[in-house]
Amino acid sequence: MNGNNLTQKATDALGRAAELAREYGNREIAQEHVLYALLSQDGGLIPELMKKSGIDADGMKEDALSAVEKLVRVSNGNGEYLSQALNDALSVAEKQAREMKDEYVSVEHVFYGFIEKPSAEVKRIFEKYGVNKSGYLKSLLSVRGNVRVTSDNPEDTYDVLNKYGADLVERARSGKLDPV
């Protein structure tokens, strides 16, 4: 995978995953590290997509951390290698970005890669929380629409109306709008 075609959030998630691998003495950076990093991002797209799907993102994050804690620790574990499962998922992410005609690989592509090529533990977590391809793509479409990833910071352009707008009709109905 070419690190130059990752969005800022994807780069941040992989960097945080590497830190986590070092912190826990893991030789490899695994999907579990990246999943935890994706679910931990402040204002991140993945927690938002999980919530839109009715999935407990915080519970999933806790399970991802528990999975990290179960990974083999070694005395010289410094998280300098990507696991084969993570490599496979990142290859799928890159392919998915191309299919969506995106110029950058973003967090949604990485998560999609996990759905398509999950490690055994990530698969267990996804099954527990009901994460599946069709539900994920439906939530992604509702947030992203048909916007393409053409910059390294696309997450700021998704679902802008809900982020910065106000539903005046709903406010009026609930009596929270000043009639003046």
Q: What DSSP string describes 55-121?
A: --HHHHHHHHHHHHHHSPP-TT----EE-HHHHHHHHHHHHHHHHTT-SSB-HHHHHHHHHHS--HH
For residues 123-148, give the mean pLDDT. Answer: 90
Q: What is the pLDDT of residue 34?
A: 98
Q: Are the C-beta atoms of 31 and 117 separated by less than 8 Å?
A: no
For residues 154-160, give the mean pLDDT. Answer: 52
For residues 167-175, give the mean pLDDT. Answer: 69
Q: What is d(CA 26, CA 170) in angstroms, rounded to the nearest whole number?
A: 50
Mean pLDDT of all residues belonging to the chain: 87
Superfamily of the domain at 3-173: Clp, N-terminal domain (1.10.1780.10)
Category of 111 on φ-ψ map: left (φ > 0), alpha (ψ -120 to 50) or beta: alpha
Domains of the chain: which residue ranges?
A: 3-173
Q: What is d(CA 29, CA 90) in angstroms, rounded to the nearest whole number?
A: 12
Q: Are the C-beta atoms of 119 and 29 separated by less than 8 Å?
A: no
